[in-house]
Structure 1
Amino acid sequence: MTRTVRARALVLGIAAALTLAACGGSDTASAPSGGKGLEKTTIKVGALPIPDPAALYIANAKGFFKAEGLTVEPVLIQGGAAALPQIKNGALDISHTNYVSTFLAASKGEKIKVVGDVYQAAPNTFNLMVTKDSPLNSVADLKGKTVLVNTLKNIGTLTVEATLKVAGLTKDDVKFVEKPFPDMANALSTGQGDAAWMTEPFITATQSQSGFRKLADTMSGQTADLPIAAWMATDEWVQKNPKTLAAFQRAIAKAQQLVANDRKEVEAVLGQYTKIDAKTASVITLGTFPTSLNATRLQRVADLMLEYKYIESPLDVKTILVGASG
């Protein structure tokens, strides 16, 4: 865990990328509006209870959104796929999402856009975990077993499949079952699953509190440094609210730059939207936070999805990225 301590500080730099690259229009680079001319002054933003969206809470705490004339109301969600119906029906304006769920939806014709990069994997940030007394000692032992993931057909199942492949197994050799991250520890302990795909702070918390063991790091080899999360909105929302989006991006970019240089800022807000205590927050392993929305780097995710048949034909990610480079 400790070898990625340096990466933790980078976690929030990711969000900076979304602001600078997300919108791509003149509104994105313009000066703070103080609320003048914004199409909406109050927006609801979905976020999972994990470190990725820490900049969202920092921007609120530091008054960065307020300076833009925005009131941002964070809404806890359980996965990017679960957020899609909410941004489509207007319950959410923008949402934290994972690239696999987003690219899968886009491949099926959903009119959505990625408006910023959020998080990228690092070693031991997304692990397959088992209980301390589990008979499983290798990925090969998962044959015929149940694996818990927060959402089906998402970044979790894809990276687990890649991990299974190395062990000579396929997705058909295991059973995937959905379980929200906060409920996974209890589910494993009560026999509802044999292994769970976890991220921080749940990896560290279950190790320290329940003695859980790492079965495998799902972000290695083919999936090393894989882009994980983004900010997502509908095409319609982006077109109708360019100034609001730009204001959001400016504020969250400022927060991301701040936390990219000070891990303590991340630790300070984790307790606001997760159940993690300060001691655990100080030792969790964090991924990195890209500072640009790079099409070439993100294409890697879509290509991996094609290989594992998550999508039926190639997807050019540039078609759904707003303000991307590369």
Structure 2
Amino acid sequence: MTRKLRCNAIALGVAVALALTGCSGSDKPADSSADSKGLEKTTIKVGALPVPDAVSLYLANEKGFFKEEGLTVNPVIITGGAAALPQIESGALDISMTNYVSTFLAVSTGKKIKLIADCYQAGPNTFNIMVPGDSPLKTVADLKGKTVLVNNLHNISTLAVATQLKVAGLKETDVKFAEKPLPEMGAAIKSGQGEAGLLTEPFITATQSASGFRKLADTMTGQMENFPIAGWMATEEWSSKYPKTLAAFQRAISKAQQLASSDRKQIETMLPKYTKIDAKTASVITLGTYPSELNADRLQKVADLMLEYGYLKGAIDVKSVIAAPSSS
């Protein structure tokens, strides 16, 4: 699909503020009794961002994959993987979506976390440095001395930009990073709060369509090609206490990931149900991929890159962070 067709497919007033629409968590207490499948816990709360990355959670609910495993899963909106960590530590959430950079940063400080399932891997043009159409900036090298807006400092966004700066002969300190929520980033750039921003979908498509923004660089190239983005986490304590419940979740989410990977229409149908991405936008946004298994070698790439760019003070063996998959 050409860029022109892509942009014409989206209404000028495309909603860019993602919000949960009817999928908030239930206040129903978790059921600790064993069911016919022998689960230690049959009702769980799972934190998720209302973004395309988390589509398999909602697919698994709608298609009955969790129900087949004897699980009732209540999605709960979160603001980010790092923000969800205290909630899984307190027990407010059983499981949560997390980005891998936040996870390994937390592990490096001694947090006892287990990655239990994969969620999302970046593809081309899913994490782009965007600028207004009339910006004088033409290359990444032109960012020297400029302000780049990111949704979180010292996280995957800044790491992604840093890899592109390196290719251009610059260092991370050659630009100023400032935080701005993704829904507000386009307007912030237009008002002069920054010269560029690291945007993900659907905000890439929205700013192109509504504001005439253009891509300065695709950060998911070079060192970050096919970069693992997000997964599902639980505490070590929870994983040990509820192994059968964990295994049931792993099986159901893996099945949903396979469905998402094999049939984009399933994703397009689901997105309007738990985000404000309308059906027309869902049909044209650029998506990454949905791996059905955690792969230590792929995730080691994240930790190694974080070490290279100074995000970690010491190496992390990713295998030690991954919960063993169910053998049943």
Matched, 1:234 2:241: no
Aligned amino acid, residue 252 of structure 2: A
Aligned to 1:309: 310
Q: Deviations over 1:177-207 (max 9, x none)?
A: 2223223223223333322211112211221
Q: Deviations over 1:145-190 (max 9, x none)?
A: 2222222222111111111111122121222222232232232233
Q: 1:34 to 1:176 in 2, by over 3 A?
A: farther
Structure with the largest fraction of helix: 1
Aligned amino acid, residue 235 of structure 2: T
Q: How does 1:60-99 map to 2 (within 5 A)?
A: 60-99=61-100
Post-superposition offset of 1:95: 1.3
SS in 1 for 2:60: helix
Distance in 2 separating the partners of 1:237 and 1:224: 33
Matched, 1:281 2:282: yes
Preserved CA contact (<8 Å) 1:238 1:245 = yes
Q: Deviations over 1:203-256 (max 9, x none)?
A: 112212221111110011111111111111111111111122112122222222
Q: 1:49 to 1:182 in 2, by over 3 A?
A: farther
Preserved CA contact (<8 Å) 1:46 1:95 = yes
Alignment TM-score, normalising by the size of structure 1: 0.84
Alignment TM-score, normalising by the size of structure 2: 0.84
Preserved CA contact (<8 Å) 2:254 2:293 = no
Aligned to 1:151: 152
Q: 1:87 to 1:186 in 2, by over 3 A?
A: farther
Distance in 1 separating the partners of 2:187 and 2:63: 35
Distance in 1 separating the partners of 2:192 and 2:86: 31
Q: Deviations over 1:241-287 (max 9, x none)?
A: 11221121222222222222211100011112222121111111111
Higher mean C-alpha deviation, range 259-268 or range 80-89: 80-89
Aligned to 1:45: 46
Distance in 2 separating the partners of 1:266 and 1:35: 31
Aligned to 1:250: 251
* Structure 1 alignment gaps of length 5 or more: 4-32
SS in 1 for 2:118: strand
Preserved CA contact (<8 Å) 2:57 2:256 = yes
Aligned to 1:271: 272
Preserved CA contact (<8 Å) 1:2 1:285 = no
Aligned amino acid, residue 310 of structure 1: Y
Aligned amino acid, residue 131 of structure 1: P
Aligned to 1:169: 170
Aligned to 1:199: 200
Distance in 2 separating the partners of 1:187 and 1:271: 26
Larger radius of gyration: 2
When the two chains are superposed, the root-mean-square deviation of aligned CA atoms in Å is: 2.0
Q: 1:219 to 1:231 in 2, by over 3 A?
A: same
Q: 1:34 to 1:271 in 2, by over 3 A?
A: farther
Higher mean C-alpha deviation, range 256-265 or range 109-118: 256-265
SS in 2 for 1:229: strand
Aligned to 1:119: 120
Post-superposition offset of 1:122: 1.4
Aligned to 2:11: none
* Structure 2 alignment gaps of length 5 or more: 4-33
Distance in 1 separating the partners of 2:272 and 2:35: 29
Distance in 2 separating the partners of 1:119 and 1:293: 10
Matched, 1:262 2:263: yes
Q: 1:153 to 1:236 in 2, by over 3 A?
A: same
Preserved CA contact (<8 Å) 1:188 1:196 = yes
Distance in 2 separating the partners of 1:201 and 1:190: 21
Preserved CA contact (<8 Å) 2:255 2:292 = no
Distance in 2 separating the partners of 1:171 and 1:35: 55
Aligned to 2:319: 318
Q: Higher RCO, 1 or 2 (CA under 8 Å, sep at least 6)? A: 1
**What percentage of residue pairs aligned between the two structures are identical?**
70
Post-superposition offset of 1:71: 2.1
Distance in 1 separating the partners of 2:135 and 2:249: 45
Distance in 2 separating the partners of 1:132 and 1:195: 11
Aligned to 1:28: none
Aligned to 2:21: none
Preserved CA contact (<8 Å) 2:260 2:290 = no
Aligned to 2:17: none
Distance in 2 separating the partners of 1:2 and 1:108: 45
Distance in 1 separating the partners of 2:73 and 2:187: 32
Aligned to 2:291: 290
Distance in 2 separating the partners of 1:168 and 1:307: 16
